[in-house]
């Protein structure tokens, strides 16, 4: 019964998964960029510091985290849909590893937001710029694994 439901809901599940991924990725790209500007252009404790903290908090809490949860829920539904994934291939595991990496990065960003909120940030704009490349690399692994399936 569940298998039949998942099979019939497949186009909707896949659509909602892609929408969730786009929203999550947008945040994963934008939040580290906010951190770069926060570190390099904003004096701690001022009005602009408060503005940046509000933007960072709301982006993480109201866009990124719900999008991450939705991505996981719809992704797991897709994984459980009969006939969609060849579990003997390597690509689903490569994708899963990259998604776990993306989830780790999301939580790393959340910890950095708390650093800003408590005035304990010790990272430079350069380090946030470098970390901003992580979601791009993970996205490449995911897209290639799912679409090209080279392994």
| 16-40: pLDDT as tens digits | 999 999 999 999 999 999 999 999 9
Q: At residue 35, what are phi and psi to the nearest 5 degrees?
A: -60, -40
Of 124, 118, 71, 113, which Cα lies nearest the Cα of 95?
A: 71
Tell me the average pLDDT across 47-61: 97
Task: Residue 104: give the domain boundaries.
Answer: 24-148
Tell me the average pLDDT across 123-150: 96
**Average pLDDT of the chain?**
97
In a domain, 8, yes or no: no
In a domain, 87, yes or no: yes
Domains contained in the chain, number: 1
In a domain, 116, yes or no: yes
Half-sphere exposure of residue 88, counting CA atoms within 13 Å on the CB side? Answer: 1
pLDDT in tens, 34-45: 999 999 999 999
In a domain, 36, yes or no: yes
d(Cα 104, Cα 150) in Å, to the nearest integer? 25
What per-residue confidence (pLDDT) applies to 151? 83
Q: What is the pTM of this model?
A: 0.95
In a domain, 80, yes or no: yes
What per-residue confidence (pLDDT) applies to 120? 96
In a domain, 129, yes or no: yes
In a domain, 15, yes or no: no
d(Cα 122, Cα 127) in Å, to the nearest integer? 10
77 has pLDDT over 90? yes
In a domain, 2, yes or no: no
């Amino acid at each position: 019964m569940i298998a039949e439901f998942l099979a019939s809901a497949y186009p909707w599940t896949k659509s909602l998964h892609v929408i969730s991924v786009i929203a999550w990725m947008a945040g994963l790209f934008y939040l580290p960029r906010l951190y770069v500007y926060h570190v390099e252009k904003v004096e701690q404790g001022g009005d602009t510091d408060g503005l940046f903290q509000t933007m960072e908090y709301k982006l993480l809490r109201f866009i990124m985290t719900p999008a991450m949860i939705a991505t996981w829920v719809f992704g797991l539904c897709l994984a459980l849909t009969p006939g969609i994934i060849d579990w003997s291939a390597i690509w689903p595991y490569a994708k899963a590893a990259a998604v776990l990496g993306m989830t780790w990065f999301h939580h790393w960003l959340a910890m950095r937001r708390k650093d800003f909120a408590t005035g304990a940030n010790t990272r430079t704009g350069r380090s946030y710029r470098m970390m901003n490349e992580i979601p791009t690399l993970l996205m490449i692994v995911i897209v290639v694994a799912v679409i090209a399936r080279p392994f």
